[in-house]
Amino acid sequence: MTDSPYRNYRVGIGVSLLLAALITALSLIAVATPYLGWGVVALATVAIWVGLPLLLVLLLAWLRYMVRQRGQVPGRVHALMFVPTVAAMLIIPLWHSLQSSWASLGGGSRASIAELHVNLSGQPLWLDTTPYASTGSGAGPDLPMQGETPGQFMAFHRYPNAQSDADGAFPYKDGRLKRSADHYRYATPSGDRAVTDVPLERRPYPDLAPFNTGWRRPGTPELVYLYYHYSDHVEVAPTLARLSGFTVDGLERSRFEGLVLFKIHNYGGAPIVRLEVNGTALDIGDRAIASIPDVPGDCTAYGYPLGGALLSLDAPLQVRWQTVDAPAHWHSTRVQVPAFRQPLPLQGQSTLQRVLLYVMPDGTVAAERYAEVFEGDKLRGIKATGLPASAATHAVCGSARASYREGADTVLAD
């Protein structure tokens, strides 16, 4: 450091090594402790309050050297000032890449599994979270899951480990439920599995084959296992998890066809806790679909987002659902999704179909089809079949166009 090539740059190089050491330490803690819970907040706080000021000092020092030397800073000084920090920042991405490679070589047995639980039993439930489960916040699920609030669901990811791989206790293999999983075994307050279990009724998997040939990304969108807990049994329905905006954008760019994205306006008398279209369960999120007050009430939900399903809209849809006040009873009806009277413009045409369902107080369902049209990456307008006549007297929230920004609904009319 004291040799002549580096003597005039030792402050910047020192800051670089200090910042690299900090990032390395934080990264190693994160890698060595995958189940940090709220510890993630502590790491992020240190990174923001210590790492960012160091990075600012490093950049200012580099700029000062560049001005002082009129741009003639030796290349090895540039390397010493930035390569250690960049290398440290690559630790976590490289670790995740190695984990994915190991999971692929091992048949995917170590991949996490997304679960969503709906308690319709009326009793508090200690869900099985072995060997480890984490919610979106990084903490474990708050158990027991209460029975008096069936409209509040519980979502988390379950993670296998080396021990569960060895003893076969984890109910999934290669990302799917094992054939032997025919009962759901609840835990005890201590976290151990109890001897009491209930029959597990399994719904079929959605056909994901189209994603393997029509999507320009490896793998498929994430599956989520929807567990419906009744008083005497549990039903599990694997289905597509609700897609992020990034994933939807990727599907659009890939010109992927056949996927229908659903939203809903629930004007029925009770919140909806379970919903299926053509026998496919839809991921309705982490809470029940609340009932929207009828006219003259105010709108409380501009198109509650549901999951997606691979299906055709040419034939009527079979829609059925359960509500919080009668969770063992199915409401069922058929609904024809209207077609556009005029074809969509070919340029900028969305390949993803969108449907807004209207659940009426009398138990009927109406549907509106709509689509997004783009010019390049810019939204040009919304094309929609319009508010169904049968929903007009209840539609406090308007049609599908109402959830878009002002002006988007004035470009394209059917």
Asked whether the predicted pLDDT for residue 224 surpasses 90, the reply is: yes
Count of alpha carbons within 13 angstroms of residue 228, beta-carbon side: 23
pLDDT for the residue numbered 323: 96
pLDDT for the residue numbered 2: 47
- Band of the pLDDT at 34, cuts 50, 70, 90? low
pLDDT for the residue numbered 26: 85
Q: Report the pLDDT averaged over residues 267-272.
A: 92
Determine which of 41-45, 149-153, 266-270, 365-369 has the lowest per-residue pLDDT on average: 41-45
Asked whether the predicted pLDDT for residue 136 surpasses 80, the reply is: no
- Using N-to-C axis directions, what is the helix angle for 75-89 and 91-105, rounded to 10°? 50
For residue 365, how many other CB atoms are within 10 A of its CB? Answer: 22
- Band of the pLDDT at 282, cuts 50, 70, 90? very high
- Band of the pLDDT at 1, cuts 50, 70, 90? very low
Distance of CA 240 to the CA centre of its chain: 10
pLDDT, greater one: 12 or 216: 12
For residue 147, what is the DSSP state?
A: S
Count of alpha carbons within 13 angstroms of residue 219, beta-carbon side: 11
Question: Taking the C-alpha atoms of 175, 180, 186 and 192 in order, what is their torsion angle to the nearest 10 degrees?
Answer: -80
303-327 tens-digit pLDDT: 678 888 999 899 999 999 999 999 8
pLDDT for the residue numbered 77: 83
Determine which of 24-33, 55-64, 86-95, 343-352 has the lowest per-residue pLDDT on average: 343-352
Q: Which amino acid is at 245?
A: G
- 3-class DSSP assignment, residue 381: strand
- Band of the pLDDT at 106, cuts 50, 70, 90? very low
Rounded Cα distance between 351 and 260, Å, is 9
pLDDT, greater one: 137 or 390: 390
Q: State pTM to two decimals.
A: 0.74
pLDDT for the residue numbered 228: 97
